[in-house]
């Protein structure tokens, strides 16, 4: 495993981080038992992953907490999140939700607590009304660092994050980034690097990369809309060159490697409910960068797209 500093938090994190939500939710999404889900987390940790990201909305905090108790707490970096809807939420609401998260996790503190899926319209309320409560909880030692995550599908232009990364108190952000959703490369990462804000990348692999029929359908619609050149469909699969020319083992492998080696990317989050997939995902994240000509082609062909591949967890039509 490879490790790096997460912004200026002082946390040393694995470049591969286990995301405990998404379609899989560690296996809960397919009906796996509690113990089987715990085993997925432990498999990741035993392979060197020390960054575990969960959330109240995922329903996996108890699982993460149970797995964490098998290890020295100082070995792990645990991140959780909660959604606050708007004006009805107060500082007291934040304190209650953090305490409830700690109880579910069975921990005295979390390394990062994020406001989850913040919409641009409610950002100022989060910053001005809710964030002071997190600052107090940080002073109390219940929260070590303060984070904020975007609602990718509902804010594809990343308007909320563009504001947040210029302001206090955010130390860590979670954002959508992939080889077909590259906006952060020019609009977010230069600032996070300058201000030493830690970055956690989600939506790196979604259905558009793992489902060939869905990928062709989406690409065909983008061609019809004039957003992609028709030449991307000439070989059948618009991303097929990643394997044939880029030396990737699969398009999913290429997607992980593309994000992992982007300047400004700290932790690449992956999610699964399958222990075998844990190793495969980590292996991809740890492989070398894609060849420079392939990266240039990705930037030229897809760098202008906004919000492509940001499907929320759930079945894909035609899958």
- Are 25 and 290 within 8 A, CB to CB? no
- Are 25 and 314 within 8 A, CB to CB? no
Per-residue tokens: 66:
């149970």
pLDDT digits (tens, 9 = 90+) for 182-228: 999 999 999 999 999 999 999 999 999 999 999 999 999 999 999 99
pLDDT digits (tens, 9 = 90+) for 216-252: 999 999 999 999 999 999 888 999 999 999 899 999 9
Q: Residue 173 pLDDT more than 70? A: yes
- Res 224: pLDDT: 96
Label residue 289 by pLDDT band (50, 70, 90). very high
Which superfamily does CATH assign the domain made up of 3-210+260-291 to?
NADP-dependent oxidoreductase domain (3.20.20.100)
- Res 312: pLDDT: 72
Q: Residue 21 pLDDT more than 50? A: yes
Per-residue tokens: 3:
């490790």
pLDDT digits (tens, 9 = 90+) for 49-89: 999 999 999 999 999 999 999 999 999 999 999 999 888 99
Catalytic residue set: 58
Q: Where are the domains of the chain?
A: 3-210+260-291
Give the orientation angle of helix 131-140 with respect to helix 91-105, to 10 degrees.
50
Closest alpha carbon to 56 in 110, 108, 15: 110
Per-residue tokens: 121:
């319209």
- Res 317: pLDDT: 38
């Amino acid at each position: 495993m490879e490790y790096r500093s997460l912004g200026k938090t002082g946390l040393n994190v694995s470049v591969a981080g286990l995301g405990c939500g998404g379609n899989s939710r560690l296996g809960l999404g397919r009906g796996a038992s509690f113990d089987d889900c715990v085993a997925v987390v432990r498999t990741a940790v035993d392979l060197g992953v020390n960054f575990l990201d969960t959330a109240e909305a995922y329903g996996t905090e108890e699982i993460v907490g149970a797995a964490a108790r098998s290890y020295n707490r100082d070995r792990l970096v645990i991140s959780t999140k909660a959604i606050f809807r708007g004006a009805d939420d107060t500082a007291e609401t934040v304190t209650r939700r953090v305490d409830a998260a700690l109880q579910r996790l069975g921990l005295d503190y979390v390394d990062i607590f994020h406001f989850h899926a913040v919409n641009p319209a409610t950002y100022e309320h989060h910053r001005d009304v809710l964030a002071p409560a997190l600052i107090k909880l940080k002073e109390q030692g219940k929260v070590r660092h303060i984070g904020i995550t975007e609602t990718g599908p509902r804010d594809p232009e990343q308007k909320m994050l563009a504001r947040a990364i210029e302001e206090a108190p955010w130390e860590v952000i979670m954002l959508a980034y992939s080889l077909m959703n590259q906006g952060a490369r020019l609009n977010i990462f230069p600032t996070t690097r300058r201000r030493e804000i830690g970055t956690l990348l989600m939506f790196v692999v979604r259905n558009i990369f793992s489902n060939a029929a869905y990928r062709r359908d989406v690409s065909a619609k983008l061609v019809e809309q004039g957003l992609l050149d028709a030449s991307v469909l000439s070989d059948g699969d618009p991303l097929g060159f990643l394997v044939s020319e880029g030396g990737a083992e699969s398009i999913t492998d290429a997607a992980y490697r593309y994000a992992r080696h982007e300047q400004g990317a700290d932790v690449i989050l992956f999610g699964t409910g399958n222990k075998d997939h844990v190793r495969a995902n980590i292996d991809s994240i740890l492989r070398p960068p894609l060849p420079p000509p392939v990266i240039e082609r990705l930037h030229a062909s897809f760098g202008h797209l906004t919000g492509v591949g940001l499907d929320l967890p759930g079945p894909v039509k035609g899958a």
